[in-house]
Amino acid sequence: MKHLKHILINAFYLFLLSACIKDKPVTVSQPTKALSTQQKVYIVNEGNYGSGNSSVSLFDTGTGIVISDYFKSQNNLPIGDVAQSICYFNNLYYIVVNNSNKIIICNSSFKKIAQINGFTSPRYILPLSNQKALVSDLYANAISVVDLSSNIKVGAISCNGWSEKMAILYNSVYVTNMYKNYTYVINAQSNQITDSIYTGYYCGSLVIDKYNKLWVLGSGDSTKSTTSKLTRINTTTNQIEQVYNLPKNFARDLCINGTNDTLYFLNSGIWQMPVLNSSLPSSPIVQQNNKNFYAININPLNGNIYVSDAIDYVQNSNIYIYSSNGLLLNNFKAGINSNSFLFH
């Protein structure tokens, strides 16, 4: 009877698991049927430095199909070395390729139509208008100014250090700097740095919430005796309102949900924090355990959490989809070192 009881219990749990997790997505190099009209998720896979094996995977939320290298399938050519980020603006996709010193522009069918050159080591692109964008850079000690109508780099804003992620609010562009203790404020019209905010060392990500508060996440550096911290800033005065000290070093990838009221980031697990919280939560909503979480973003349509597991930085990454409360919904494979997600 005990044996029968165990069988029944196991069957019950298998039923619960199947009810929670959808059919596993099917990974293909070319789809055998048309993609759906539903939302797509573009996954940037940086590959390995110097190997030229970066890619962009596509996950069709309607069919469950994963196209392992969507850019190559649409263009029959590789992206280049170290795809860093992707941006969608004015019906165009901008793929920033770090070690190939370029930005590839694709149309709505993901066909390459143009390329912007002249960078040192570009990281992220931030369109400011139909004509103008800024591009952060690892080694240039400057932020590039790009004319989007001609797709030409037309200038630079001096900014020593590794400029990283950017966000714009009204006429102010906020830029993190990994090698400095400050987040910088740039006037979007004059291209001048107008202010700096002390946010600590190795700050790489930032978001603006529904109340126009700026949040900056810093990883810290044990060699400099600095720890990870999350900083909230009043964008009217550029003054720090609150600092949250995190339990472990190397916090990364601060992002926000579609309603701009809940923060998410990686710090040995997936952390979730409503912007109105006066203190940090006591624990992550998803424990990292034996995974190597590498990147995270939130689907703005349904609040689902997408996170990559880089495993050993050589294999293709695992992509996990969790609900907003941390329940595992699905998983699939993407490319090597999946570092960012775009939902469109």
Q: pLDDT: is 5 or 51 the higher one?
A: 51
Average pLDDT over residues 44-56: 97
Helix (H) or strand (E) holding 134: strand 132-137
pLDDT at position 221: 80
With vertex at residue 107, the alpha carbon angle to CA 332 and CA 344, rounded to the nearest 5 degrees, is 40
Query: What residues are paired with 297 via a beta bridge?
Result: 306
Distance of CA 271 to the CA centre of its chain: 15
pLDDT score, position 22: 54
Q: What is the pLDDT of residue 9?
A: 39
Q: What is the DSSP letter of 221?
A: B
**pLDDT score, position 11:** 44
What mean pLDDT comes out for the span 54-62? 97
Contact present, 105 and 113 (Cβ < 8 Å): yes
Q: Mean pLDDT over all residues of the chain?
A: 92
- Residue 249 pLDDT level (bands cut at 50, 70, 90): confident
The fraction of the chain above a pLDDT of 70, given in percent, is 92
Q: Hey, how many other C-beta atoms are within 10 angstroms of the C-beta on 158?
A: 11
Query: What are 178's two structure tokens?
Result: 């990994």
pLDDT of residue 222: 72
Query: What are residue 55's DSSP bridge partners?
Result: 45
The pLDDT assigned to 3 comes to 39
pLDDT digits (tens, 9 = 90+) for 214-238: 999 999 887 777 789 999 999 999 9
Whether the predicted pLDDT of 14 surpasses 70: no
DSSP track, 215-266: EEEE--BGGGTB--EEEEEETTTTEEEEEEE-SSS--EEEEE-TTS-EEEEE
Whether the predicted pLDDT of 10 surpasses 60: no
pLDDT at 25: 83
Identify the band that residue 28 occupies on the pLDDT scale cut at 50, 70 and 90.
confident
Q: What is the pLDDT of residue 18?
A: 43
| pLDDT at residue 23, as a whole number | 67
CB 281 within 8 A of CB 273: yes
Of 4-8, 240-244, 248-252, give the lowest mean pLDDT range: 4-8
Percentage, residues of the chain above pLDDT 90: 86
For residue 95, the model assigns a pLDDT of 98
**Confidence label for 32 from pLDDT (cuts 50, 70 and 90):** low
Task: Determine the Cα–Cα distance for residues 18 and 131; give it in Å rounded to an integer.
Answer: 49
Q: 262-298 pLDDT, tens per residue?
A: 999 999 999 999 999 999 999 999 999 999 999 999 9
The pLDDT of residue 12 is 42
Q: How much is the pLDDT for 175?
A: 98
Question: What local confidence, expressed as pLDDT, does residue 13 receive?
Answer: 40
- Measuring CA to CA, how many Å separate 267 from each of 59, 264, 294? 26, 10, 10
What band does 1 get if pLDDT is binned at 50, 70 and 90?
A: very low
Q: Order of strands across the sheet with 122-127?
A: 122-127, 132-137, 142-147, 152-158
